[in-house]
Amino acid sequence: MSETDRKIRVLVAKPGLDGHDRGAKVIASVFRDAGFEVIYTGLHQTPEMIVSAAVQEDVDVVAMSVLSGAHMTLFPRVRELLDAEGADHVLLTGGGIIPEDDMKELEKKGVGRLFGPGTPTTEAVRYIREWFEENRQPEGV
């Protein structure tokens, strides 16, 4: 398989104490159907666990589902840890109940586009594909 047709590797994560994982499971399934290689971490992951899995699995994207209201803590912490692990090339994106002003603030902190309830799943797929085309790392980098 050449670098140009390499599958996009996405880690879908549910950080914190939020036990609602239906959306994360749905988006993981949508990403698989779109041809992405998906790793789902399951519930109650710490930022450290998420970053460890992202580095071990050599993912292109970390997509977090945050419904707990802790998005202003969780997203920046995962971004900080990814950067510290030399994974600053990994897209951090996700979704949940996140106010527009918070989305803008998180973007300033290095978080990619965030998706709220009711967003068509095709938008997340398109966003990741477009990001990957612009930012992908060659195999072995």
Burial class of 118 by CB neighbour count within 10 A (0 to 12, 13 to 18, 19+): exposed
54 domain-assigned: yes
140 domain-assigned: no
Q: Number of folded domains in the chain?
A: 1
φ and ψ at residue 114, rounded to 5 degrees: -115, 145
Q: What is the pLDDT of residue 19?
A: 86
141 domain-assigned: no
User: How many C-beta atoms lie closer than 10 Å to residue 69's C-beta?
Assistant: 15
pLDDT value at 79 more than 90: yes
pLDDT tens by residue, 101-141: 999 999 999 999 999 999 999 999 999 999 999 997 565 55
For residue 58, the enclosing domain spans 6-135
* CATH number for the domain that contains residue 12: 3.40.50.280
67 domain-assigned: yes
Handedness of CA 113, 17, 102, 26 (dihedral sign): positive
Q: How far is Cα 26 from Cα 130, in angstroms, rounded to an integer?
A: 21
Mean pLDDT of 62-88: 97
19 domain-assigned: yes
pLDDT tens by residue, 12-45: 999 988 888 999 999 999 999 999 999 999 999 9
38 domain-assigned: yes
